[in-house]
Amino acid sequence: MTASVSALLGRSGLKLGHYVGEFATPGIGYILREAGAEFVFFDMEHSGNSFETLQRCLRYFEAADVPAFVRIPSHAYDHVARALDCGAQAIVAPMVNSADEARAILECMKYTPLGKRGLAPGLANDRYHLAPVVEALAAANTRNRFVPLIETTAGIENVEEIAALDGVDVLWVGHMDLTADMGIPGQFDHPGYLRALDKVVEAGKKHGKGLGRLVTDVSGGVALARDGWDLLAYHGDVWLLQTALRQGIDGIRSGAAADQ
């Protein structure tokens, strides 16, 4: 299968991608691929994206060979299982606070004998490939990856136990929510926040787990990569368009005004 999250995570070194929450266009996968993105962080939590939209967009990403990490709206079984049935290979779950919460999500993700996910072989999750049932279930259990979002003080306190779990593949920090939960919203230079990041890095490296972040500036991305963060989503579709458009419009407007 192409566009494999497993293959991406099995590769050492820095992997760069992009956040998509708004632009569910047929060309989005090819646009990302042409720009050099190695993966997409597709958001259903802070967007209007439905499961129908997800299933459509996953076909766009697959066509362009862009592995997709799918952030679901909650830990609910139907959110986990439906995203997988649509073809998601990596589930990003918001606000994972403990190892017990992570285990419960993994149970929803995995087929028997590893979990209690309802059987749906041969659909979009298998790219409509028909195979013997036991073979299909084992392949899905191997293929599907779990990315808990560490974005609360409880998640930071329990990150060592979360990272130690079999089935957890990446620790992804939600920096905005984490600072908000710490009572320091947006203060990314606060000593307490920086200590929290260090704790995540330490746990990830100790247990051989990937480390993921969203970053909106090049220098910040370089600094994170030097600290060991190996999965970086550079910017989001809406913010990147707004930023580039504002720079161009302001540049033309100021240049024209200077000539008058």
Q: With the C-alpha atoms ordered 233, 235, 237, 238, is the resulting torsion angle positive or negative? A: positive
pLDDT of 260 above 90 = no
To 5 degrees, how large is the angle CA 73–CA 8–CA 124? 55
pLDDT of 194 above 80 = yes
Mean pLDDT of the chain: 96
pLDDT above 90 coverage of the chain, percent: 96
| pLDDT confidence bin for 116, thresholds 50/70/90 | very high
What is the maximal distance between C-alpha atoms in the chain?
74
Specify the pLDDT at position 82.
97
Task: Out of 18, 46, 79, 207, pick the active-site residue.
Answer: 46
At 27-74, the pLDDT tens digits run: 999 999 999 999 999 999 999 999 999 999 999 999 999 999 999 999
Are 193 and 183 a contacting pair, CB within 8 Å?
Answer: no
pLDDT above 70 coverage of the chain, percent: 99
| pLDDT confidence bin for 1, thresholds 50/70/90 | very low
According to the 3-state scheme, what is the secondary structure of 79-101?
Answer: HHHHHHHHCCCEEEECCCCCHHH
Are 80 and 146 a contacting pair, CB within 8 Å?
Answer: no
Q: Which domain holds residue 87?
A: 5-258
Classify the phi-psi angles of 244: left when phi > 0, otherwise alpha if psi is within -120 to 50, otherwise beta: alpha
Q: Is there a catalytic annotation at residue 46? A: yes
At 77-103, the pLDDT tens digits run: 999 999 999 999 999 999 999 999 999
Domain count, the chain: 1
Q: Give the pTM.
A: 0.95
pLDDT of 2 above 70 = no
Residue 114 belongs to a domain with what CATH number?
A: 3.20.20.60
